[in-house]
Structures are given as C-alpha cells and as structure tokens.
C-alpha cells in the first residue's frame, strides 16, 4: 500500500490494483487535461486536472463503501476502479470538446467500454478478475452500487465542487462531504441520505448553485469556450482535425493544432492564446428574452449571420451562446425520514427554493470584438426583442 498527498483529502491510499491502473496511458493522459477547461483565463489557479479529480473520486467512493457491510470485496474493487477510470473518456479541455465527441462518435465521455477492453487496462482487469462491463455500468450509474459514483448526489459532485473551489479560490464550494458520506446508505436497494445528512445535502446544492455563475458559467469562461468551439468546428470542416481522433488528444495537442491553423480558426486560437477575447454585446436572462429563446439553439449560425448583417459586419465577428435550460437532478435525491423515503426537495425548503433560483443564473450571450460591441448589441436586442434596455459593459472589463 502506498499513499499520495492530495490538497483536498489529505493522504489517499493506493493499492497494487489502483497503482497499476494509474500508470496506464489513458490515466496518464488525464494529467494533461484541465478539469475546468479555459477557466484559468478567469482564475489563474484553475489549472488542476482530471487526474487528481479521479483520485479524489476514488478516495470518496472507497470511503463510502467501507461503511456498507453488504458490499463484497469484489464489488468494492469494481467500484473503486470505476471511480478511478470514470473520466478517461473525456476529450481535451474537458467539457469544451464534449459536444464534438458526442456528435461524431455517438458516445458520451462516460462510454469507456472500448478503453476497458483493450491495452494495459484490459490486462490489469483480467489479472484481478474484474469485469469491464460491470465497471462500465458502474461509471454510468446503471447499477445500484454505481449510484455512489453517478446519481443525483454522488461522490463525483462532492469532489469537483470542493476541488474547483480550492483551485479557483472561490469560497462557495464548501460542502460537508465527510458528513454527507457518513449519512449515505442503501435502503430498499436505493442510495439514500439519512435524516442527519439533510443539511450536508443542502450545502452541496447551495454550493453548486453559487459556483455556477461564479465559475462554471462565468461570462469570460463562456466567451472563451464559445470561441474555442468555433475554432474547432472550423478545423474539423477543413479536415485539420479528425473528430474521431479528438478523444485521444490532450490539451496541448489540441491547442497546438488550433494555433497552427490559418484563417478564422487560427485567428480565434491566437486571440485565446493572447487573451484578446470577444466582449459581451448582449448578456441577458430569461426575464428579458423569455424561455422561447431556447428554440433558437438549433439555428445559432443562421442567427449570427442575420445579426451580423444588421450590424454591417462579417458573420465571423458574431458569436452566440445559448445555454441549455438549467437542470437540477439533485432535487430528486432520496432522503430517509422516519422510516420512509422522500425526495430531497420535499425534505428541505432550502432545496425546494433553489429550483426557481437556478433559472436566475441562466444567461444568453452575444459576443463580438470590442470595436463592434455597440452595433452588435443594438442588432441583437432588436433580433431577440429584449424586453428592457440592458446595461452596457465597460470596454476595459475582464
């Protein structure tokens, strides 16, 4: 048994099985994939990777299963391996490239069976008598035990919230994960939170609610990610990147291809590298554009062209970012109260009120180089029929 020092959880124990998996190429690639993509353009310390997150998730999953007597050692090993390997399907810059991987491979980052069945990982699993199919099902939360790793309240969320808070310096990611894990149990074959863990569960949801606008949906991160996505689209169209190979790349490989590109993609890549980002011409929530704006998500390129024509500029100088509607799966988490199971939003008034509050975090952005901000802002407000005049942003903003 060896230990590795983690700034979040302290010493994490590694046995022969996990040590051998850590040394495989798919796991080592995670050292070169940033957990928060381009968020280091906002928070300079946000350079932590999927690798240390995977170690943290494995540690929390191991801690939780130790308190469940009904779980065999074989099952514990399978879940520990699933926790360690759950992110090996991520592409470069994490979620920035996920839509491309899904579009071209018809697989999400959780679909890693092909990686479990070949190479060194397959040999290690076979040596220890572990099933790749069972591990895949755990990763996707398709088994009862896998709910520990992927469900409404899971160890994956617990780790990334605390870890992202630590590395960004944003103090909103305070989750009493130790208490929450202590209160989690299986009841009637379902993973539930005991009554003593309701407040800890509340802390997780409040943390996630506060971290979204401050970190995950910070407007600078959204602008940078939108620019990056557009550059990748252009490179795929020009055959400079094969989308089927994107999943095997790390951050440095992708960024090298981007900066080597010519034309529009190369220009966007150099802007990102030099932090000469587009600016917000329009940045509004549902109260100003109504939920009907979501129907435009499938026509973004056409709308960008129309707004650019209205503003009298090139279509490449307009980028539109319309996020999906907010989803809060944690509301459905089960709590055991007085011998019966109820949903978390029924057990906690705080959680119930967060459902509506999450919609306040949603923002649609129209971005453009700063010299076109006024024209594009006017055209975008007219196109989307913004209900009231939105504030103007200083040209010197971050």
How far apart CA 100 and CA 106 sit, in angstroms, is 9
Query: Does residue 360 surpass a pLDDT of 90?
Result: no
How far apart CA 214 and CA 45 sit, in angstroms, is 14
How far apart CA 27 and CA 30 sit, in angstroms, is 5
How far apart CA 230 and CA 101 sit, in angstroms, is 15
254-306 pLDDT, tens per residue?
Answer: 999 999 888 999 999 999 999 999 999 999 998 898 878 999 999 999 999 99
Q: What b/e string do you get for 367-376 counting C-beta neighbours within 10 Å, with b at 16 or more? A: bbbbebbebb
62-75 pLDDT, tens per residue?
Answer: 999 998 888 899 99
pLDDT at 108: 92
Q: Considering only CA atoms, which of 396, 379, 391, 384 is closest in space to residue 313?
A: 379
37-48 pLDDT, tens per residue?
Answer: 999 999 999 999
Residue written as tokens 């007085």?
338
pLDDT at 388: 58
153-204 pLDDT, tens per residue?
Answer: 999 999 999 999 999 999 887 889 999 999 998 988 889 999 999 999 988 9
Query: What pTM was computed for the model?
Result: 0.93
φ/ψ of residue 21, rounded to 5: -70, -35
Q: Considering only CA atoms, which of 227, 229, 174 is closest in space to residue 199?
A: 174
User: What Rg, from alpha-carbon coordinates, does the chain have?
Assistant: 22
Query: Does residue 123 surpass a pLDDT of 70?
Result: yes
Once rounded to an integer, what is the mean pLDDT over residues 301-326?
95
How far apart CA 107 and CA 98 sit, in angstroms, is 9
Query: Does residue 245 surpass a pLDDT of 80?
Result: yes
175-178 contact pairs (CB < 8 A, 24+): 175/200, 175/203, 175/204, 175/207, 176/200, 176/203, 177/60, 177/204
Of the chain, the percentage scoring pLDDT greater than 70 comes to: 97
Once rounded to an integer, what is the mean pLDDT over residues 299-315?
96
- Model confidence at 398, in pLDDT bands (50, 70, 90)? very low
Once rounded to an integer, what is the mean pLDDT over residues 87-100?
95
Of the chain, the percentage scoring pLDDT greater than 90 comes to: 74
Query: Does residue 96 surpass a pLDDT of 80?
Result: yes
- Model confidence at 339, in pLDDT bands (50, 70, 90)? confident
Residue written as tokens 């350079």?
47
Once rounded to an integer, what is the mean pLDDT over residues 357-369?
91
Query: Does residue 363 surpass a pLDDT of 80?
Result: yes
Query: Does residue 395 surpass a pLDDT of 60?
Result: no
pLDDT at 252: 96
Once rounded to an integer, what is the mean pLDDT over residues 97-120?
94
- Model confidence at 225, in pLDDT bands (50, 70, 90)? very high
């Amino acid at each position: 048994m060896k230990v590795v020092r983690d700034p979040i959880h302290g010493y994490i124990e590694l046995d022969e099985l996990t040590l051998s998996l850590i040394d495989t190429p798919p796991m080592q690639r995670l050292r070169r994939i940033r957990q928060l993509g381009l968020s280091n353009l906002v928070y300079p310390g946000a350079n932590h990777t999927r690798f240390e997150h995977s170690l943290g998730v494995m540690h929390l999953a191991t801690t939780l299963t130790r308190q469940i007597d009904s779980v065999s050692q074989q099952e514990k090993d399978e879940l520990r391996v699933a926790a360690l390997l759950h992110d090996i399907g991520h592409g470069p810059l994490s979620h920035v490239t996920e839509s491309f991987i899904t579009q071209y491979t018809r697989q999400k980052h959780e679909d890693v069976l092909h990686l479990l069945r070949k190479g060194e990982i397959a040999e290690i699993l076979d040596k220890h008598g572990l099933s790749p199919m069972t591990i895949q099902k755990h990763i996707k939360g398709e088994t009862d035990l896998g709910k520990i790793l992927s469900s409404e309240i899971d160890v994956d969320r617990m780790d990334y919230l605390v870890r992202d808070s630590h590395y960004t310096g944003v103090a909103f990611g305070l989750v009493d994960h130790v208490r929450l894990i202590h209160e989690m149990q299986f009841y009637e074959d379902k993973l539930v939170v005991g009554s003593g863990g309701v407040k800890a569960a509340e802390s997780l949801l409040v943390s996630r609610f506060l971290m979204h606008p401050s970190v995950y949906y910070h407007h600078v991160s959204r602008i940078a990610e939108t620019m990056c996505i557009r550059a990748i689209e252009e490179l795929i169209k020009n055959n400079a990147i094969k989308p089927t190979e994107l999943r095997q790349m790390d951050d440095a490989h992708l960024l090298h291809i981007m900066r080597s590109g010519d034309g529009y993609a190369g220009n966007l890549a150099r802007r990102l590298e030099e932090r000469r980002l587009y600016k917000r011409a329009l940045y509004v929530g549902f109260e100003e554009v109504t939920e009907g704006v979501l129907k435009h998500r499938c026509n973004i390129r056409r709308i960008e062209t129309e707004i650019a024509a209205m503003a009298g500029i090139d279509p490449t100088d307009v980028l539109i970012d319309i996020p999906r509607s907010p989803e809060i799966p944690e509301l459905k988490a089960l709590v055991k109260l007085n011998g019966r199971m109820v949903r978390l939003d029924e057990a906690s008034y705080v959680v119930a009120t967060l459902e509506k509050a999450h919609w306040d975090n949603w923002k649609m952005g129209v971005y453009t180089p700063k010299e076109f901000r006024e024209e594009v802002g006017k055209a975008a407000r007219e196109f989307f029929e913004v209900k009231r005049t939105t504030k103007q942003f200083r040209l010197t903003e971050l």
